[in-house]
């Protein structure tokens, strides 16, 4: 079904055409009519599925039916877990609403930057406010924003907001909203906490589930390059150079690791930047813009910082280290192969990560191809990982032991796949 059949107004269809979207994604097909009708929504969908347009387009349609004058109150409130996601959602809303008359005003507010300019921007009235919960509460507490006219509340990446400890802030914000309103909740996972949050929040919600994760996992070619821990940086440089990758998102498990890796890449003339929670907002925005513009070839990110990054057609994602949580792996590979494009997710897996690799495979339900690159093979120094020991023996450090690099890190004594 084309977009034109979904009931959206012409100015919105024009923006959709300009964005280059030809057909609605599965979540858009389901969400757009439901939101247009004013239903509450409970959607299992992640970044990469087109969910932002799925809620933004029908919301804008409804808003534009009843325009306010100058003193416009916030009528749509979109809460997101991170500043990056807030900024990107704000950008999308502005883009989709570009041809609406009269123009709707969208503002984005998040923490980590000065509050005063945000207060100033809110003064003239705002139709759509995109916010991270903490900063929004600060603004509300200082009377810089009123939320008593909100018609639609969107909780985007609700699971991540709860993971980040925003539940109390969210509840406080909800208490400031009118009782009668439309509620849209998007979440990748449905934990007990999410269920508790949805009870009492959503009224007869339309439930939408798109098999985003499986689809992403199927769309994305996944390869694990088995190697030695000490060789990972060199292997990454080798992969980037020999394959001539121009835009790679690399995940590390720590902020420090992200900085270190970016520095090392820059030293060998691979332009790289790190983004993580310790970087200033300006540095993060600058790095992301440079990456999108093709000036930065490698963006090194931690999970939290990368959450919500929206870069279309990102061809390569590299796990420099496997994430500790298998579900983070799923989030990471969701950065590639988005909106129907094929992508490649590569993991550099050292001996100490074999058990994590298996956990990930269990979660995604498919085996990940193992490969080795000549000159960077995993050496034989690591004994095969034994089966799970009984509890009493757990402290035994087989795994730790196994990742100590040997003197010769590129030994060719292979034991292909035996322990993995």
What would the two tokens of residue 298 be? 């490698």
Cβ atoms within 10 Å of 98's Cβ, excluding its own: 15
Choice from 40, 151, 159, 310 touching ligand AMP (CB under 6 A): 310
Choice from 8, 34, 41, 50 touching ligand AMP (CB under 6 A): 50
Whichever of 310 and 352 has its CB closer to ligand AMP, that residue is 310
Whichever of 293 and 374 has its CB closer to ligand AMP, that residue is 293
Q: Which stretch binds ligand AMP (CB under 6 A): 18-26, 121-129, 146-154, 343-351?
A: 18-26
Give yes or no for residue 307 binding ligand AMP (CB under 6 A). no
Whichever of 212 and 226 has its CB closer to ligand AMP, that residue is 212
Give yes or no for residue 53 binding ligand AMP (CB under 6 A). yes
Cβ atoms within 10 Å of 83's Cβ, excluding its own: 23
Least distance (Å) from ligand AMP to the CB of residue 90? Answer: 13
Choice from 39, 42, 52, 83 touching ligand AMP (CB under 6 A): 52
Least distance (Å) from ligand AMP to the CB of residue 145? Answer: 25
Least distance (Å) from ligand AMP to the CB of residue 56? Answer: 8
Whichever of 51 and 284 has its CB closer to ligand AMP, that residue is 51
Sole residue written with tokens 């100490």: 352
Q: Do residues 290 and 296 make contact, with C-beta atoms less than 8 angstroms apart?
A: yes
Distance CA(47)–CA(60), nearest Å, equals 20
Whichever of 48 and 133 has its CB closer to ligand AMP, that residue is 48
Q: Which stretch binds ligand AMP (CB under 6 A): 41-49, 283-291, 296-304, 395-403?
A: 41-49
Distance CA(345)–CA(315), nearest Å, equals 8
Choice from 21, 98, 257, 399 touching ligand AMP (CB under 6 A): 21
Spatial neighbors of 401 by CB under 8 A, at least 6 apart, are 383
Give yes or no for residue 339 binding ligand AMP (CB under 6 A). yes
Cβ atoms within 10 Å of 180's Cβ, excluding its own: 7
Whichever of 28 and 344 has its CB closer to ligand AMP, that residue is 28
Give yes or no for residue 90 binding ligand AMP (CB under 6 A). no
Phi then psi dihedrals of residue 43, to 5 deg: -120, 125
Whichever of 133 and 308 has its CB closer to ligand AMP, that residue is 308
Q: Which stretch binds ligand AMP (CB under 6 A): 19-27, 120-128, 347-355, 408-416?
A: 19-27
Three-state secondary structure of the chain: CCHHHCCCCHHHHHHHHHHCCCCCCHHHHHHHHHHHCCCCEEEECCCCCCHHHHHHHHHHHHHHHCCCCCCCCCCEEEECCCHHHHHHHHHHHHHHCCCCCCCCCEEEECCCCCCHHHHHHHHCCCCEEEECHHHHHHHHHCCCCCCCCCCEEEECCHHHHHHCCCHHHHHHHHHCCCCCCEEEEEECCCCHHHHHHHCCCCCCCEEEECCHHHHHHHHEEEEEEECCHHHHHHHHHHHHHHHCCCCEEEECCCHHHHHHHHHHHHHCCCCEEEECCCCCHHHHHHHHHHHHCCCCCEEEECHHHHCCCCCCCCCEEEECCCCCCHHHHHHHHCCCCHHHCCEEEEEEECHHHHHHHHHHHHHHCCCCEEECCCCCCCCCCCCCCCCCCCHHHCCCCHHHHHCCCCCCCCCCCCCCCCCC
Whichever of 265 and 275 has its CB closer to ligand AMP, that residue is 275
Choice from 4, 214, 280, 312 touching ligand AMP (CB under 6 A): 312
Choice from 24, 81, 97, 133 touching ligand AMP (CB under 6 A): 24
Q: How many residues in the shown chain lie near ligand AMP by CB under 6 A?
A: 15
Choice from 30, 47, 187, 344 touching ligand AMP (CB under 6 A): 47
Give yes or no for residue 58 binding ligand AMP (CB under 6 A). no
Choice from 61, 229, 284, 338 touching ligand AMP (CB under 6 A): 338
Least distance (Å) from ligand AMP to the CB of residue 139? Answer: 25
Whichever of 50 and 97 has its CB closer to ligand AMP, that residue is 50
Least distance (Å) from ligand AMP to the CB of residue 362? Answer: 26
Residues that bind ligand AMP (CB under 6 A): 21, 24-25, 28, 47-53, 310, 312, 338-339
């Amino acid at each position: 079904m084309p977009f034109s059949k979904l009931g959206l107004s012409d100015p919105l269809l024009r923006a959709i055409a300009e964005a280059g979207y030809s057909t609605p994604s599965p979540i858009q097909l389901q969400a757009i009519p439901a939101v247009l009708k004013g239903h509450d929504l409970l959607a299992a969908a992640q970044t990469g599925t087109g969910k932002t347009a799925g809620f933004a387009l029908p919301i804008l349609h409804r808003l534009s039916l009843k325009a306010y004058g100058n003193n416009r109150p916030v009528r749509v409130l979109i809460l997101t877990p991170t500043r990056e996601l807030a900024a990107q959602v704000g950008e999308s809303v502005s883009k989709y609403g570009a041809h609406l008359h009269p123009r709707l005003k969208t503002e984005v507010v998040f923490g980590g930057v000065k509050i005063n300019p945000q207060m100033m921007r809110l003064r003239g009235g705002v139709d759509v406010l995109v916010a991270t919960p903490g900063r929004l509460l600060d603004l509300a507490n200082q009377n810089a924003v009123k939320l008593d006219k909100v018609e639609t509340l969107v909780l985007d990446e609700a699971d991540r907001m709860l993971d980040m400890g925003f539940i109390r802030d969210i509840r406080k914000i909800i208490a400031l909203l009118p009782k009668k309103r439309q509620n849209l909740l998007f979440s990748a996972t449905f934990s007990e906490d999410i269920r508790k949050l949805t009870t009492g929040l959503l009224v007869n919600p339309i439930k939408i589930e798109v098999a985003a994760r499986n689809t992403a996992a199927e769309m994305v070619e996944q390869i694990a390059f088995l190697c030695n821990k000490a060789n990972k940086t060199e292997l990454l440089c080798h992969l980037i150079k020999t394959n001539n990758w121009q835009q790679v998102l690399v995940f590390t498990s720590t902020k420090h690791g992200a900085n270190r890796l970016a520095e090392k890449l820059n030293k060998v003339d691979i332009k790289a930047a790190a983004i993580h929670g310790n970087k200033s907002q300006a540095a993060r925005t600058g790095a992301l813009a440079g990456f999108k513009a093709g000036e930065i070839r490698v963006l090194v990110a931690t999970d939290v910082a990368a959450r919500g990054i929206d870069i279309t057609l990102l061809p390569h994602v590299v796990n420099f280290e496997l994430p500790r949580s298998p579900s983070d792996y799923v989030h990471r590979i969701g950065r590639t192969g988005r909106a129907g494009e094929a992508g490649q997710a590569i993991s550099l897996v050292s001996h100490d990560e074999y058990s994590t690799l298996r956990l990930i495979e269990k979660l995604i339900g498919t085996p990940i191809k193992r490969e080795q690159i000549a000159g960077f093979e995993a050496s034989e120094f690591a004994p095969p990982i034994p089966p799970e020991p009984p509890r009493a023996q757990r402290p035994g450090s087989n795994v730790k032991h196994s990742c100590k690099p040997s003197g010769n890190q590129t030994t060719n004594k292979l034991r292909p796949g035996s322990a993995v």
